[in-house]
Amino acid sequence: MSQPLPSLIGMNLDDLTALTAECGLPRFQAKQIARLLYAKRIASIDAMTYLPKAARELMAARYRIGREAPIERVASADGTVKYLFDAGDGCAVESVFIPEADRATLCISSQKGCKMGCAFCMTGRQGFHGNLTAAQIINQVLSIPESEQLTNVVFMGMGEPTDNLEAVISAIGILSAEWGLAWSPKRVTVSSIGRIAELRAIIERTDVHIAISVHSPFHEERLGLMPVERAYRIADVIDAMRDYDFAHQRRLSVEYIVWDRLNDDYRHADALAQLLRGTAARVNLIRFHRIPASTLKPAPMATMEAFRDRLNAAGVLCTIRRSRGEDIQAACGMLAGKH
Ligand code: SF4
């Protein structure tokens, strides 16, 4: 089977500048092509009518626009919509559109499956089948029917974004550059389990918000939930975050799934408050959604509220995240795609 032509979607300004040279166009037209691809969302190379016909023909012989519609759409009773995208090699990845009163968020995937093996996550169970390209990442944003309504993007879908660093940074560039979608980077959040060097690269090379999956303040316990703790202790990850200013332009949040009688008592809340002391991090408590063949159980809401109040009393801003899309397996930890 012949390979599809490389896609223009996903190219940054350097890539498009190289493309202009290849097609015999002046360099300044790279920005115009970017605007057509990302802001105007043109559907065909032939529609770039201000380019000479010969250049368009040359480009069309070598490239395609590359915007690919989702292959499946499932809507939840609560308005959440899950989209499935073909990711090649027999794999599919998921994105979740989450409309709320004052915002519309898309939770996007960065990998086909995941290597990290977290005990509570369906994606982790599926194993790793490859990285998404910047084109496949940005395509999720550009190709859903609600694309123009989006106010926020979160890298919290399938995969660990720091494990696909260059493609993720490239996609963030397309979202936030003036020649791209020209979003404020404050509309984008990257969530990571805390691979320190790569996390630093995202913080230093972009201005997006950062979220870290903590889930337990205790080494041994977190290790039982998240194998990454062996290489990157959570205390070291949080310490690394102290090198950056999260009190002003950007936000650091901590994701904490609350499990019944595992990490839901005051001992954990106090240790978490201690871990985060002096960081300006805020905590999102997440209700667990049961997954097959796991003994993990969600903590009761009253326990989550007590946990939240304990953190707030300790001076750590903490909220309980509203759960969305559970009926369509679109809630946190439930994304599995297809392979
Ligand atoms: S929680 Fe995130 S990092 Fe862990 S296995 Fe799932 S997708 Fe990977």
pLDDT digits (tens, 9 = 90+) for 29-79: 999 999 999 999 999 999 999 899 999 999 999 999 999 999 999 999 999
CA of 116 to the centre of ligand 1 (A): 6
Report how far apart, in Å, the C-alpha atoms of 128 and of each of 41, 132, 156, 202 are: 32, 11, 16, 22
Indicate yes or no: pTM above 0.85.
yes
| Residue of 94, 198, 229, 255 with catalytic role | 94
Assess whether the C-beta atom of 113 lies below 6 angstroms from ligand 1. Answer: no
Of 107, 111, 114, 225, best ligand 1 pocket probe by most atoms within 8 Å of the beta carbon: 114
pLDDT beyond 60 at 88: yes
CA of 130 to the centre of ligand 1 (A): 14
pLDDT beyond 70 at 157: yes
Residues 72-328, CATH architecture: Alpha-Beta Barrel (3.20)
Asked about 107 being catalytic, the answer comes back as no
Segments making up each domain of the chain, as ranges: 13-62, 72-328
Q: Which of 107, 114, 153, 155 is nearest to 131 (CA)?
A: 114
Which of the pair, 323 or 175, is modelled with greater confidence? 175
How far apart CA 303 and CA 264 sit, in angstroms, is 7
> What mean pLDDT is predicted for residues 185-211?
97
Of 160, 214, 259, best ligand 1 pocket probe by most atoms within 8 Å of the beta carbon: 160
pLDDT beyond 70 at 213: yes
pLDDT beyond 80 at 334: no
- Contact indicator for 48, 33 with CB cutoff of 8 Å: yes
Cross-strand pairs, 216? none
How far apart CA 275 and CA 237 sit, in angstroms, is 10
> What mean pLDDT is predicted for residues 186-215?
97
CA of 119 to the centre of ligand 1 (A): 9
pLDDT tier for residue 323 given thresholds of 50, 70 and 90: confident
Of 123, 129, 223, best ligand 1 pocket probe by most atoms within 8 Å of the beta carbon: 123
- Residue ranges of alpha helices (H) inside the chain are 13-22, 29-34, 53-62, 122-126, 134-143, 165-176, 196-205, 219-225, 234-241, 266-276, 301-313
List the residue whose alpha carbon is closest to atom 7 of ligand 1: 159
> What mean pLDDT is predicted for residues 113-137?
94
pLDDT beyond 60 at 180: yes
pLDDT beyond 90 at 179: yes
pLDDT tier for residue 199 given thresholds of 50, 70 and 90: very high
Assess whether the C-beta atom of 255 lies below 6 angstroms from ligand 1. Answer: no
pLDDT tier for residue 305 given thresholds of 50, 70 and 90: very high
Instruction: Specify the pLDDT at position 4.
Output: 87
3-state SS class at 43: coil
> What mean pLDDT is predicted for residues 155-165?
97
Instruction: Specify the pLDDT at position 325.
Output: 80
CA of 110 to the centre of ligand 1 (A): 11
Instruction: Specify the pLDDT at position 321.
Output: 92
Instruction: Specify the pLDDT at position 327.
Output: 81
Instruction: Specify the pLDDT at position 338.
Output: 57
pLDDT beyond 90 at 249: no
Instruction: Specify the pLDDT at position 324.
Output: 81
CA of 327 to the centre of ligand 1 (A): 20
